[in-house]
């Protein structure tokens, strides 16, 4: 069997078109366009690319986008003050602080300073907690994008064995909560997992979010399984590659996401969806 490729780029374009239509409607109704502030501290090259992609996507759908770039010497107090200002700014519906932050800044403190209704990353403990009790408000973007993509391809989740490799706050944990909401039987693997190959081979759906190139071998994949590769790893030759050994896995899977062009564009689509939802929430509460 050769897997069908899940085209995340195409699904993300459909999402962006829907959002652009909503923005056009808002303009017709003389409503504010949604506003997103993206903060980048320091000069991490990968973060610079991600932030540029987010800004370009905002412009495509007609959002107001505020891009704030500060040197690595920016202090934690300065960042917290900046967040306080954006929390109070009525033109801003969403605030995103690109991670990772320099070592002298406490990332969790920063995340918790963002007003939960403007936390379009969905990382605030309030938003994670809401997801955990099946009452999501702002849903973390990458796991949400994975769910949107599976839905777009009509892939059923209820009752399936889902194995997630990676337990990060950004992907693994919220992905498990998303899958649980859809009534999957969920396994989360991490560095203390005893037999990773065995856990992967039991899965109907595999979500790899490790951050190590091609560490999930094709031979571990159950024939017919769905393989979602969240990893974006840059190799020494400059190429991007996922966490899954794509060439071998695609010969066993029924569906598989490529890297690039799979999960990555869906993360941005979810961010824009969250920003639109935040604006709709703020319509009701006048910010
Ligand atoms: N760094 C890697 N992924 C993300 C993300 O989804 N949001 C933010 N803010 N930083 C990240």
What whole-number percentage of the chain has pLDDT above 90? 98
Residue-wise pLDDT for 190-228, tens only, equals: 999 999 999 999 999 999 999 999 999 999 999 999 999
Answer yes or no: are the C-beta atoms of 85 and 91 closer than 8 Å: no
Q: How many CB atoms lie within 10 A of CB 182?
A: 16
Global pTM value: 0.97
Question: Tokens for 95?
Answer: 């605030």
Res 199: pLDDT:
98
pLDDT of 151 > 80? The answer is yes
pLDDT of 269 > 80? The answer is yes
CB contact burial 100-116 (16+ within 10 A = b; e otherwise): ebbeebebeebbbbbbb
Ligand 1 center to residue 128 CA distance, Å? 15
Q: How many CB atoms lie within 10 A of CB 223?
A: 10
Res 1: pLDDT:
77
Mean pLDDT of 237-251: 96
The response to whether residue 98 sits with its C-beta less than 6 Å from ligand 1 reads yes
**Sign of the torsion angle spanned by Cα atoms 100, 101, 103, 106:** negative
- Main-chain dihedrals φ then ψ at residue 121, nearest 5 degrees: -75, -20
Res 90: pLDDT:
97
243 is catalytic: no
- Identify the active-site residue in 93, 98, 144, 222: 98
The response to whether residue 121 sits with its C-beta less than 6 Å from ligand 1 reads yes
pLDDT of 186 > 70? The answer is yes
**Pairwise CA distance, residues 277 & 138, whole Å:** 8
What whole-number percentage of the chain has pLDDT above 70? 99
The response to whether residue 257 sits with its C-beta less than 6 Å from ligand 1 reads no
Residues recorded for the chain: 287
Res 287: pLDDT:
57
- Per DSSP, 260 falls in state S
């Amino acid at each position: 069997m050769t897997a069908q490729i899940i085209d995340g780029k195409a699904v993300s374009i459909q999402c962006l078109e829907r959002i652009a239509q909503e923005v056009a409607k808002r303009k017709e109704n003389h409503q504010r366009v949604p506003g997103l502030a993206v903060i980048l501290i320091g000069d991490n090259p990968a973060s610079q690319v991600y932030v540029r992609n987010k800004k370009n996507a905002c412009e495509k759908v007609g959002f107001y986008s505020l891009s704030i770039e500060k040197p690595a010497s920016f202090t934690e107090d300065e960042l917290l003050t900046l967040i306080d200002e954006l929390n109070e700014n009525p033109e801003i519906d969403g605030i995103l602080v690109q991670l990772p932050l320099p070592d002298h800044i406490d990332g969790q403190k920063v995340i918790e300073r963002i007003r939960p209704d403007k936390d379009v990353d969905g990382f605030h403990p309030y938003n994670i907690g809401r997801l955990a009790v099946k009452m999501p408000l702002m849903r973390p973007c990458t796991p949400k994008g994975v769910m949107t993509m599976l839905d777009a391809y009509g892939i059923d989740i209820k009752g399936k064995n889902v194995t997630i490799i990676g337990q990060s706050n950004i992907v693994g944990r919220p992905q498990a909560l998303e899958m649980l909401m859809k009534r999957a039987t969920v396994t989360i693997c991490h560095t203390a997992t005893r037999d990773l190959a065995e856990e992967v081979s039991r899965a109907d759906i595999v979500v790899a979010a490790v951050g190590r190139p091609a560490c999930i071998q094709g031979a571990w994949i159950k024939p017919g399984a769905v393989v979602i590769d969240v990893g974006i790893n840059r190799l020494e030759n400059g190429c991007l590659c996922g966490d899954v050994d794509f060439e071998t896995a695609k010969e066993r899977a029924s569906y598989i996401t490529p890297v690039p062009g799979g999960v990555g564009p869906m993360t941005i689509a979810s961010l824009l969806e969250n920003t639109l939802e935040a604006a709709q929430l703020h319509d009701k509460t006048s910010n």
